[in-house]
């Protein structure tokens, strides 16, 4: 009996814990944007090849997620939202996460090279490096602009998808990159406004902590203004069309308006109604990228471009 | 009595282990199936299956009257 009870203290991982290391929710965005990037590209790809390409791009994204969890275990252990992740909760060791992250990085890059082309594979390898090393190990703990530059890692997947089909980079794929790149800061800063995580305790320099909440609100609005022209410009390229343009126009007006409202808010008023406006803006930001990329996809399927 | 019950009952630990084993088994089986299907698709697409092998091959040369119209690069043939 004593022997059996001895196991109770050390929880052993189940399969789902290793899946959780790959950050499945982030992966879903990667899958969707990479799929759209691949689909709207001017060169047709066999459906099964496209499926495999998206799968290995997602796996590469998952691998960088595991590397991120390995390196950030100390931060995750401090913050409430992340305390139940596999490493801080003790179900998976840091070494296992590192091993899984490195192995899956290698597999995903090699397989993407074999499935699609080596340019796309190199691009995926760079993205993993960018997220795991440049963002996680360096920028995140060093500068309040961490989210701005780190957003590039999340913005690469549609470009990789495009590269899988075309073997290169185009103005369209660069603009899809810009769409996610400039969307990321207002999205995360809105979250930071109402989540109020103890970033300071964890040693992460968030803009809300380093420069204050008023500055963060101004930054949010500024980014919505920068973002809008890129979203519209994308609509003027070969992947755009009337449908995308209509969706982009409505969403960008709403987004700028939302950013304006967030900026005009005074912290006391926000606290009084439990950050209703900020929460609404955050929810809008989720729809923002999803609907833009969905519009690109539908535009491509319907086929009435410019 | 208590001992016997504890032994026959499945411990939570076993469930976790089985979940890992079954999960990994399915992933590996899926990967094998994926590579096989990928091979079938690539072969059917007619992707070039002969690479440069230290001497020119007739089968990878461009067809007569065509300016490098096949999937092979001229560089490859010239080597």
ipTM higher than the 0.85 cut: no
- How many Cβ pairs closer than 8 A exist between chain A and B? 40
Greatest distance between any 2 Cα atoms in chain B: 89
Instruction: In whole angstroms, give the CA distance from residue A87 to residue A11.
Output: 11
pLDDT tens profile A240-293 = 999 999 999 999 999 999 999 999 998 888 888 889 999 999 999 999 999 999
Is the CB of residue A33 less than 8 Å from the CB of residue A158?
A: yes
Is the model's pLDDT at A137 over the cut of 50?
yes
Residues A201 and A129 in one domain: no
Give B31-63 pLDDT, tens digit per residue.
999 999 999 999 888 766 666 677 777 776 777
Q: For residues B66 and B74, give the distance between their C-alpha atoms in angstroms, rounded to a whole number.
A: 12
Domain-located, residue A5: no
For residues A208 and A192, give the distance between their C-alpha atoms in angstroms, rounded to a whole number. Answer: 7
Out of A13, A18, A115, name the one closest to residue B38 (CB). Answer: A115
- What are the residue boundaries of the structural domains of chain B, listed by start? 11-47, 50-79
User: Structural domain tally of chain A?
Assistant: 2
- My answer on whether A226 and A122 are in the same domain is no
- Residue A173, phi-psi category: left (phi > 0), alpha (psi -120 to 50), beta (remainder): alpha
Closest to A40 in 3D by CA, of A132, A163, A136, A130: A163
Domain match, A105 and A226 both: no
Nearest CA to B72 among B49, B53, B55?
B49
Could you list the residue range(s) of the whole structural domain that residue A293 is in? Answer: 170-306
Q: Do A16 and B19 touch (CB under 8 A)?
A: yes
Residues from chain B that touch A115, judged by Cβ atoms under 8 A, are 38
């Amino acid at each position: 009996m004593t022997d059996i009870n001895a196991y109770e203290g050390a929880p052993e991982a189940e399969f789902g814990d290793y899946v959780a290391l790959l950050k499945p929710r982030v992966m879903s965005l990667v899958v969707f944007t990479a799929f759209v990037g691949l689909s709207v590209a001017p060169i047709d790809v066999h459906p099964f090849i496209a499926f495999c390409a998206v799968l290995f791009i997602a796996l590469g994204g998952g691998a960088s997620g595991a590397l991120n969890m390995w390196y950030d275990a100390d931060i995750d252990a401090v913050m409430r939202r992340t305390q139940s992740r596999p490493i801080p909760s003790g179900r998976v060791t840091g070494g296992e996460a590192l091993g899984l992250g490195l192995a899956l990085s290698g597999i995903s890059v090699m397989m993407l090279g074999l499935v699609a082309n080596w340019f796309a594979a190199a691009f995926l390898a760079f993205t993993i490096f960018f997220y795991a090393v440049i963002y996680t190990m360096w920028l995140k703990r060093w500068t309040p602009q961490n989210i701005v530059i780190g957003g590039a890692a999340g913005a690469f997947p549609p470009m990789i998808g495009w590269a899988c089909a075309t073997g290169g980079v185009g103005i369209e794929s660069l603009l899809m990159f810009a769409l996610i790149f400039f969307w990321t800061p207002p999205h995360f800063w809105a979250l930071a406004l109402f989540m109020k995580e103890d970033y300071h305790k964890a040693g992460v320099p968030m803009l809300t902590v380093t420069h204050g909440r008023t500055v963060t609100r101004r930054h949010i609005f500024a980014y919505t203004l920068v973002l809008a022209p890129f979203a519209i410009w994308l609509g003027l390229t070969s992947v755009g069309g009337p449908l995308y343009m209509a969706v982009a126009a409505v969403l960008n007006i709403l987004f700028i308006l939302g950013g304006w409202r967030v900026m005009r808010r005074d912290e006391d008023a926000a606290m009084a109604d439990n950050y209703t406006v900020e929460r609404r803006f955050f929810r809008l930001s989720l729809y923002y990228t999803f609907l833009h990329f969905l519009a690109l996809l539908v535009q491509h399927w319907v086929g009435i471009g410019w | 009595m208590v001992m016997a019950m504890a032994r026959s009952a499945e411990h939570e630990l076993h469930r976790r282990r089985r979940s890992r084993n079954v999960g990994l088994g399915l992933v590996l089986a899926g990967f094998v199936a994926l590579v096989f299907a990928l091979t079938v698709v690539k072969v059917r697409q007619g992707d070039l299956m002969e690479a440069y092998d230290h001497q020119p091959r007739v089968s990878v040369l461009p067809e007569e009257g065509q300016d490098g119209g096949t999937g092979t690069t001229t560089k490859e043939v010239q080597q």
